Structure 1
Amino acid sequence: MNHCLSVSLLLIASLLAGCAAQPGPELRPYTAEETRQLAMEGLNRRGLSFDEYQQKKAELTVRPQKQFGFDRQGEMNAERNVTLHGRPS
């Protein structure tokens, strides 16, 4: 009887301890700024020479230019006949 009581108390205590534990960190993708910061921290930890460090740092700090323009996939000629489900439009 005493053995069953101690086992059940142990199970209840472990169950309550598991429920009271903090949840893990939120899983989300890194932002571009966080990714750049992690890359800079990794660069600082490497044992690079000054010239190599400056070259890698310059590569990391360059901001990519956004491409503006049309991809020509959404354009449509107004003079072109388009048939939708068997009827002209």
Structure 2
Amino acid sequence: MNRFIAVCLLVVASVLSGCATHASPELRPYTAEETKQLALEALSRRGLSFDEYQQQRAALTGQPQKSFGFDHQGEMNAERSVTLHGRPS
């Protein structure tokens, strides 16, 4: 009977000591690359327009903003005949 009580006390003590320790992850500061990646992920979730997204992304990454635009040639009619380098299209 004494062995049973000793084993029970040992199990209870080990369970209580396991519960008493904090299993929190190690707190460390983020690196610059991790911070930049988190900011880019947050930016992609904002639902901004394409131009606003490109402006803010360029500001975060430190790259010059690329200009996106149309080529101002307009739409082409399929019935319109165009000659390219001596070939009919």
Which is higher, the Rg of structure 1 or of structure 2?
Answer: 2
TM-score, length basis structure 1: 0.49
TM-score, length basis structure 2: 0.49
RCO comparison, higher one (Cα < 8 Å, 6+): 1
